[in-house]
Amino acid sequence: MAAGETRELTVDLGERSYPIYIGTGLIIRIGEIFKERAIPVKSPILLVTDSSVADLYADRVEEVFANAGYTVTTAVVPSGETSKSLEMLDELIGAALEAGLDRKSTVIALGGGVVGDLAGFVAASYMRGVRFVQIPTTILAHDSSVGGKVAVNHRLAKNIIGAFHQPEFVLYDLDTLASLPLREVRAGLSEVIKHGLIWNADFVAWCDENADKLLSLDSEALGYALYEGCKVKSIVVSRDERENDLRAILNLGHTIGHALEAVAGYGELLHGEAIAIGMVGSARLAAKFGYSSEIAEETERIFKKFGLPVRIPASCDPEEIMSAMLHDKKFSEGKMVFVVPTAIGSVEIRNDVPSSWVREIVDELREGN
Amino acid sequence: MAAGETRELTVDLGERSYPIYIGTGLIIRIGEIFKERAIPVKSPILLVTDSSVADLYADRVEEVFANAGYTVTTAVVPSGETSKSLEMLDELIGAALEAGLDRKSTVIALGGGVVGDLAGFVAASYMRGVRFVQIPTTILAHDSSVGGKVAVNHRLAKNIIGAFHQPEFVLYDLDTLASLPLREVRAGLSEVIKHGLIWNADFVAWCDENADKLLSLDSEALGYALYEGCKVKSIVVSRDERENDLRAILNLGHTIGHALEAVAGYGELLHGEAIAIGMVGSARLAAKFGYSSEIAEETERIFKKFGLPVRIPASCDPEEIMSAMLHDKKFSEGKMVFVVPTAIGSVEIRNDVPSSWVREIVDELREGN
Ligand SMILES: NC(=O)c1ccc[n+]([C@@H]2O[C@H](COP(=O)([O-])OP(=O)(O)OC[C@H]3O[C@@H](n4cnc5c(N)ncnc54)[C@H](O)[C@@H]3O)[C@@H](O)[C@H]2O)c1
Ligand SMILES: NC(=O)c1ccc[n+]([C@@H]2O[C@H](COP(=O)([O-])OP(=O)(O)OC[C@H]3O[C@@H](n4cnc5c(N)ncnc54)[C@H](O)[C@@H]3O)[C@@H](O)[C@H]2O)c1
Ligand SMILES: [Zn+2]
Ligand SMILES: [Zn+2]
For B92-113, what is each residue's pLDDT tens digit? 999 999 999 999 999 999 999 9
B1 touches chain A (CB under 8 A): no
- Contact of A116 with A109, CB cutoff 8 Å: yes
SS3 assignment, position A47: strand
- Known binding-site residues of B for NAD(+) equal 79-84, 113-117, 137-138, 149, 158
- Known binding-site residues of B for Zn(2+) equal 191, 254, 271
Pairing of strands A338-343, B157-164: unpaired
Cβ distance B163 to A125 less than 8 Å, yes or no, reads yes
Residue B179 CA, chain-centre distance (Å), reads 18
Active site residue B327: no
B310 touches chain A (CB under 8 A): no
Give buried/exposed letters for A234-246 (b at 16+ CB in 10 A, else e): bbbbbeebebeee
For B213-236, what is each residue's pLDDT tens digit? 999 999 999 999 999 999 999 999
Using alpha carbons, select from B231, B49, B63 the residue that is nearest to residue B136: B49
Does residue A79 surpass a pLDDT of 60? yes
Whether the CA torsion B248, B108, B231, B262 is positive or negative: it is negative
| pLDDT band at B17; cut points 50, 70, 90 | very high
What residues of A are in contact with residue B15 (Cβ under 8 Å)?
none
Residue B1, pLDDT score: 37
Lining ligand 2 with CB less than 6 A are B 50, 52-53, 56, 79-81, 84, 111-115, 117, 137-138, 140-141, 143-144, 147, 149, 159, 176-177, 179-180, 184, 271
The Cα–Cα gap between B351 and A33 comes to 31
SS3 assignment, position B160: strand
* Residue A137 marked ligand-binding: yes
B30 touches chain A (CB under 8 A): no
Active site residue B149: yes
For B26-71, what is each residue's pLDDT tens digit? 999 999 999 999 999 999 999 999 999 999 999 999 999 999 999 9
Residue A329, pLDDT score: 52
Residues of A annotated as catalytic (active site), given as ranges: 128, 149, 191, 233, 243, 247, 251, 254, 258, 271
Q: Could you please state the CATH topology (level 3) that the domain comprising A182-365 is classified under.
A: Dehydroquinate synthase-like, alpha domain (1.20.1090)
Residue type, A26: L
Instruction: Establish, for the pair of chains A and B, how many residue pairs have beta carbons separated by less than 8 Å.
Output: 71
- Contact of B298 with B304, CB cutoff 8 Å: no
- Dump strand ranges (E) for chain A: 7-11, 18-23, 45-50, 72-77, 106-111, 131-136, 149-154, 157-164, 169-173, 338-343, 346-350
The CA A148 to ligand 1 mean position distance, Å, reads: 15
What residues of B are in contact with residue A124 (Cβ under 8 Å)?
163
Query: Which overall architecture, per CATH, does domain B7-179 show?
Result: 3-Layer(aba) Sandwich (3.40)
Q: Write the CB contacts of B274 (distance below 8 Å, at least 6 apart in sequence).
A: B256, B257, B258, B260, B261, B264
Give the start-to-end residue ranges of the domains of chain A: 7-179, 182-365
The Cα–Cα gap between B58 and B49 comes to 8
* Section A42-64 average pLDDT: 98
Task: Indicate whether this complex's ipTM tops 0.85.
Answer: yes
For A80-132, what is each residue's pLDDT tens digit? 999 999 999 999 999 999 999 999 999 999 999 999 999 999 999 999 999 99
Tell me how close the Cα of B333 comes to any Cα of chain A, in angstroms.
9
A290 touches chain B (CB under 8 A): no
Nearest residue of chain A to residue B121 (CA atoms): A125
For A67-76, what is each residue's pLDDT tens digit? 999 999 999 9
Q: What integer best gives the mean pLDDT of chain B?
A: 94
| pLDDT band at A5; cut points 50, 70, 90 | confident
Residue B2, pLDDT score: 46
Q: What integer best gives the mean pLDDT of chain A?
A: 94
Active site residue B364: no
**Global confidence as pTM:** 0.95
* Section A9-21 average pLDDT: 94
Nearest residue of chain B to residue A88 (CA atoms): B86
Ligand nearest to the CA of B250: 4
| pLDDT band at A265; cut points 50, 70, 90 | confident
Backbone angles phi, psi at A343, to 5 degrees: -170, 170
Q: Write the CB contacts of A45 (distance below 8 Å, at least 6 apart in sequence).
A: A65, A70, A71, A72, A73, A101, A105, A106, A107, A108
Nearest residue of chain A to residue B87 (CA atoms): A86
Does residue B328 surpass a pLDDT of 70? no
Nearest residue of chain B to residue A150 (CA atoms): B128
Find the CB nearest A162 among B90, B128, B156: B128
A127 touches chain B (CB under 8 A): yes
SS3 assignment, position A160: strand
Cβ distance B94 to A156 less than 8 Å, yes or no, reads yes
